[in-house]
């Protein structure tokens, strides 16, 4: 069970520009059940990425209680569970081949060397990069680099998968293919996913549940269950209607 429970998460950033502190998150309560796909939706600067940073252990100073699979996310050291993270940019090590990039995280997660070959091959095959294992990142297109990043995140067999606007840097056609790919893989693996986005349509297409954030300080404004059957289809007219009403929640206009 890789459920996530966040209670009273508050984060204040102190910096030169804000000596009194900038309230980024104000008492966020969020619970995600095992195998759920949740989208955090909101305008930029609403603190939704901060939630991911806390869950991934990158942000260690916060108030509140954060648990993943019943284990408390430590305030001072690494996390006691495996995280798969897909960033907005691919964040591949440019001096390593695609294969070595994936092996780098397998080694970091103490996965037995004997499993590397099989896992890497399987995941590269799954994301359609079988023939590019020995290529360097600069030889790949932006979409292919992000595929590598997705393969890398799944390859460590994470307990939770965190995604921070992973498709916002891609052109819309590529992004669509990538969303479909992600959903296919997710239906096969059923990882618990938290997916941050500011794209309402994307959130409706992907999520079981959308959590809408208000602008700074980040608070949860609305929790919307998306009850569209899977596999989902871009041409579904209900998807479009749904995204219109979700957009109203994000912009703060009341639904008439």
Partner 1 sequence: MAIVTEREFPIPASGNRLRIPESLSIRAASLVVLVIVWQLASIAVSAKYVPGPLPTFAALWDNAQSGALMKHFTVTMARMLLSFAIAMLVGMAIGTVMGLYRRAEQSLDLVVMVGLTIPGLCYIIVSFMWLGLNDRAAVLAIAWTTFPAIAINIWQGVKAIDQRLIDMARVFGASNWRRTARVVVPQVLPYLMAASRFGLGIIWKVTVLVELLGRSDGIGYMLNYSFQMFNMADVFAWTLFFTLVMLVIELAILKPIERRLFLWRPEIRA
Q: Which residues are at the interface with partner 1 (CB under 8 A)?
A: 56-58, 78-79, 82-83, 85, 87, 89, 91, 93-97, 104-105, 108-110, 136, 138-139, 152, 156
Of the pair 70, 78, the CB lying nearest partner 1 is at: 78
Return the number of the residue (100 or 209) whose C-beta is nearest partner 1: 100
Task: List C-alpha distances in Å: 130 to 98, 124, 125.
Answer: 10, 5, 5
Instruction: Please report how close the Cβ of residue 56 comes to partner 1 at its closest, in angstroms.
Output: 5
Minimum CB separation from partner 1 for residue 118, in Å? 19
Looking at the Cβ atoms of 76 and 108, the one nearer to partner 1 is 108
Coil vs helix vs strand at 31: strand
Query: Of the two residues 44 and 245, which places its CB atom closer to partner 1 in the complex?
Result: 44
Q: How far is the CB of 129 from partner 1 (least distance, A)?
A: 17
Q: Where are any strands of DSSP class E within the chain?
A: 4-13, 22-32, 37-41, 63-68, 71-72, 83-86, 160-164, 192-197, 209-213, 220-225
What are the backbone dihedrals phi and psi of residue 40, each rounded to the nearest 5 degrees, phi first?
A: -95, 120
Question: Nearest 5 degrees, angle CA 168-CA 174-CA 178?
Answer: 80
Cα(87)–Cα(255) distance, integer angstroms? 33
């Amino acid at each position: 069970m890789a459920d996530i429970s966040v209670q009273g998460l508050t984060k204040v950033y102190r910096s030169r520009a804000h000596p009194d502190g900038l309230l980024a998150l104000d008492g966020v309560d969020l619970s995600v059940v095992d195998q759920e796909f949740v989208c955090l939706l909101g305008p930029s600067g609403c603190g939704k990425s901060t939630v991911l940073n806390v869950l991934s252990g990158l942000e260690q100073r916060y108030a509140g209680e954060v648990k993943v699979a019943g284990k408390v996310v430590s305030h001072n050291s690494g996390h006691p569970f495996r995280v798969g993270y897909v960033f907005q940019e691919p964040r591949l090590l440019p001096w390593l081949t695609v294969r070595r990039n994936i092996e780098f995280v397998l080694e970091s997660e103490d996965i037995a060397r004997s499993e590397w070959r099989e896992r890497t091959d399987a995941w590269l095959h799954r994301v359609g990069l079988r023939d590019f294992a020995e290529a360097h990142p600069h030889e790949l297109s932006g979409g292919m680099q992000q595929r590598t990043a997705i393969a890398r995140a799944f390859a460590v067999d994470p307990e939770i998968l965190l995604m921070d606007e992973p498709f916002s840097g891609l052109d819309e056609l590529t992004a669509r293919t990538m969303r479909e790919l992600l959903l296919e893989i997710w239906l096969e693996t059923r990882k618990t996913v938290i997916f941050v986005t500011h794209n309402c349509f994307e959130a409706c297409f992907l999520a079981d549940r959308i959590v809408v954030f208000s602008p700074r300080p980040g608070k949860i404004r609305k929790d919307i269950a998306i009850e569209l059957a899977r596999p989902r289809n871009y041409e579904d007219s209900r998807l479009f209607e749904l995204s219109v009403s979700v957009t109203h929640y994000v912009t703060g206009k009341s639904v008439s």
